[in-house]
Each structure stands twice: as structure tokens, then as C-alpha cells.
Amino acid sequence: MRSCTMPEHEHVDLQLLLQSLGDYAIFMLDPGGRVMSWNSGAERIKGYSADEVTGRHFSIFYPPEDIAAGRPARGLETAAAEGRFEDEGWRVRKDGTRFWANVVITALRDGEGRLRGFGKVTRDMSERRNAERALDERGRLLAHLVQAQEKERRRIAWDVHDDTIQSMVAVGMRLQLLASQLPGDHAEAVLRLNDTVNAAVGRLRNLAFFLHPPGLDSGGLVDTLSGYLEQVVSTAGLTYDFVPDLDEEPPPETAITVFRICQEALTNVRKHAHASSVRVSLASADQGVHVKVGDDGVGFTDPGDGSSRMGHFGLIEMRERAEISGGWWQLHSSPGEGSTVEFWVPAVRPRRS
């Protein structure tokens, strides 16, 4: 890449080659990490045009949690010290969505060994990752726990529905019959008893729904979410917008993950955001489901990965859920401007071995 020593025609050929490689983002950084050149693959993969990105620091391609952990700088340091640095991880497109990237950073030095910058080659590995990804030990354990928890919740929900609720419904019907055969005073007492039983049936029905919405197992993610918004969000005095734009219903495992994260995010909106409206959007993207839950509430003081608040508000749980299913999760927020939980999960089953 020491283009300064190249004959002119070879330089032109090389430019053509770089421009035509649409599957690879190939670009140069100055020694400080600012973008100096850009090819068509970079534009295609990352979504920025050359004009938009030239001169900007390459950390804009990294997720906030990686920036907070100092990963961009460490990549350059390693490349400068060892000549080369290779990494795999999430990178962020211009529109905020992520792709799984293989990245190689190479230090570019002139004849005297002075660092002139870095060459960076990025490949979009999302598709291969979806197909091949195997969870590490911790991921397997978490996935197993989440699965066991969902199984248990489903079992309890079914028991409540098929046994407890039905028995209590029968008791209520019996009490009404009894009341119709009793004199006034006694009839009233029995009817009050019936009201109590009915109210309990209503509460049990809600409990069973929260434990495991029955529609989730049968391709009903959009219906279930819409029902949840109607039932929980609107009764909390919030208005909502629901924008489902899915090419197809995801498999049950994906549907449960999406629903649980939305449930947690909406609980936060309801309890902590002091918002007046919330917007939930679902879209098919990158062979998965891309979701945003945004409110107009008070916002968080710590945006990005929310690391300083990870212990609160179920943020860890939301992120873990997205990550063990092979996806990503992010919180955008600033004080007074509301919060948006954004995540993506693949609509394929991860391998468990």
C-alpha cells in the first residue's frame, strides 16, 4: 500500500480494484483514526457516503459499549505495535442498526518506518454468523436458564387456565344458580360471593397472560404485543403508536424474546419515564426482527449501553436476552428527551452445542 512509490498506472488500477470490491469495506485512517479514503464496499456495508464520512473518527462505526470500553483506540494501538490487529464484533451502520463484522487493521508505514496511518478492511459476517454461531459456555447456560424459565412460566400459565380458572368459573356459575333459588337476603350474600370469585378469575387471567401470553406459541407476536399495549399501556394513561412491519411472523423462540424485552421496556416507560406517549415499531431486518420502543418521558442521564444503570430497571436482563439469542441491544437517552430501547434479534434458532 505504499502508493507514493508506485507508478501512476498501477495507482489507478489499485484505486479501481478497491472501488469495485463491494463485499469489503476497505478504507484508510490517518494516524489519529480519522477516515481518509472510502470505497464502494464501505458505502454499501456501513451506509455512509465518502463525503459524509471523510475526516470523521472511525469510532462512529462502533457500538457505544465498545467505545466506553476503549476498543477502537486499543485496535489502533495493537495494530501500531504489532503491525496488524484482527477482531470480530458488532459494528454500527449509519442508520443505527448493527452488523457482525470481521475487521483487520493494518499499520501503514513509510520507507523510514514512520506511521502514516492505517488500512482497515471490514467484512459483513452477519449471514454466516446467523448460520454458524455457537454460544460460549456462559451463553449456553443463560440460554438454558431462559428456556427453562419460559417453560416453567408456560406450564404455570396453562395450569392456571385449565385448572384453577375453570374450577373457579364453575364455582361462580354454581353460586349464581344457588342465588336464584334463595330468598332475598341470602341471595344477595351469595351474589357478592360470586362477584368476589369473578374478580379473582379476572386477576388470574391477567396473571396467566403475563406469565405466558397464549398467542406467542402460534405465530401471534404482533397480536400479542398489540393486546399487551392496549391492556397495559393504555390503562396506564399513555397513548401509544404501534408500527408492526414484519415480512413474516418470527419463530416462537424469537417471538418470546421480542415480547419479553418489549414487556420490560414498556414496564420501565410506565413506571419511571413520566411519559405521555410511547411508540413501538417492529421491522424485518437482516434475517431478524429490529425493534424500537421509544417514549417522550424524562430520559436517562446516561445514554449508550446504560452501563452505570445496568443494575436498575431490568436493563441487564433486556440486554442479556437479546445477546444470548444472538442479537444486540441498546439504550438511547438524554435528559428531557425521552428514551429509546432498540434491539435486534435473529429469526433463526442459535445452535446450542
Partner 1 sequence: MSAAPDRLTVLIGDDQPLIREVLTEVLTAEPDLDVVAVAADAREAVRLAVRHLPAVAILDVRMPGGGAWAAREIRRLSPATRVMAFSAYGDSHSVDEMRRVGVREYLLKGLPNSDIVAAVRRTAATS
Query: Which residues are at the interface with partner 1 (CB under 8 A)?
Result: 161-162, 165-167, 169-174, 176-177, 180, 198, 201-202, 205, 213-215, 218-220, 223-224, 227
Separation CA 206–CA 87 (nearest Å): 47
Secondary structure (3-state) at 287: coil
Rounded least distance, CB 203 to partner 1, Å: 11
Rounded least distance, CB 167 to partner 1, Å: 6
Phi/psi of residue 296, nearest 5 degrees: -110, 35
Instruction: For residue 35, give the nearest of 68, 64, 15, 57 by alpha carbon.
Output: 57
Rounded least distance, CB 91 to partner 1, Å: 38
**H or E element in which residue 345 lies:** strand 339-346
Minimum CB distance to partner 1 smaller for 234 or for 301? 234
Rounded least distance, CB 198 to partner 1, Å: 6
Angle between helices 137-159 and 184-211 (to 10 degrees): 160
Minimum CB distance to partner 1 smaller for 206 or for 287? 206
Residue 197: partners with Cβ closer than 8 Å, 6 or more residues away: 168, 171, 172, 175
Rounded least distance, CB 133 to partner 1, Å: 30
Minimum CB distance to partner 1 smaller for 139 or for 213? 213
Minimum CB distance to partner 1 smaller for 31 or for 219? 219
> By CB neighbour count within 10 A (0-12 exposed, 13-18 middle, 19+ buried), where does 344 fall?
buried
Residue 133: partners with Cβ closer than 8 Å, 6 or more residues away: 326, 350, 351
Using CA of residue 292, residue 298, residue 304, residue 309, what is the dihedral sign?
Answer: negative
Question: Position of cell 498501477?
Answer: 10
Separation CA 120–CA 37 (nearest Å): 10
Rounded least distance, CB 262 to partner 1, Å: 17
Minimum CB distance to partner 1 smaller for 66 or for 253? 253
Minimum CB distance to partner 1 smaller for 109 or for 154? 154
Whether 39 contacts 26, CB under 8 Å? yes
Rounded least distance, CB 166 to partner 1, Å: 5
Minimum CB distance to partner 1 smaller for 174 or for 351? 174
